[in-house]
Structure 1
Amino acid sequence: MATDETSPLLLPVEQDTTGPKEDTMSTLLWKTGAVFGATAVGLGAFGAHGLKKHISDPNKLANWSTAAQYQLIHSVALLVASNNPVAGAFFTAGMTMFSGSLYALTLDTERFRFMGPVTPLGGLCLIAGWLTLAFGKRGAAMRWPRV
């Protein structure tokens, strides 16, 4: 196959010179934190107003409130830690497991009984996220270690 200077295979690759690109992981964690925060407010409002019409057990309502509160607090933590993918992963997993399992168990304890052990695992992930922030370099992006 003959090639010449007009071949598309030899055209120079155009470089984006508009400025530095955003760190995709940081952007993803920021957006994830914002979405988790918005859903925490919505789920908290539902728990305070709509859920009481369907569930009368005060312990279940308290669990729902705890789930929404922890989700909201850790949504803000995820925004703060958006440049730290390790802490961000721990916070995301922790909110999903901790708050998610509490929401599910509140709605249907029998159906979601298997999620009971997930709640403390989510709590451990939340703690790990805070410890990752505590022992990481302040303001520096941390990366997963290569294996």
Structure 2
Amino acid sequence: MADGAALAWHFADTIVAEFQEAKSRARSFIVFIVPVGPIGQFELFAQRCNEMQISLRDLVLINMDEYLTAEGDYIPTSEALSFRSHMERALWSRLDPALAPPPAHRHFPDPRDPQATNRLIERCGGVDVTVSMKES
């Protein structure tokens, strides 16, 4: 298995395990902060959740960032670099809709309201897992 593929599978399996561990604590929301890249892991995470029938209805997934225009707005989702579009293609559209978290639980930092992420985390009772990935 190539290193990139091994990293993607490791990410997917780790996120499943971390989610199940957090779920065992019986919190109302399970909050993850994740990067978009490297790429390949969210497709596998969706695959694992579908195969194992893991409901992510109480997952609040906070992405770390998104590209902005020169005016400080999100780039359009039609742009190839859009992280919001990537997450839709790689994760949300691949999950069984019955298992997927509601759209309100899919968060990107708001360039017009930077404190919105902090308020969301506070409402949810804190962060369960923060993932940082890098390719070597």
Fold-level similarity (TM above 0.5):
no
Indicate the structure whose relative CO is greater, using CA pairs within 8 Å and at least 6 residues apart: 2
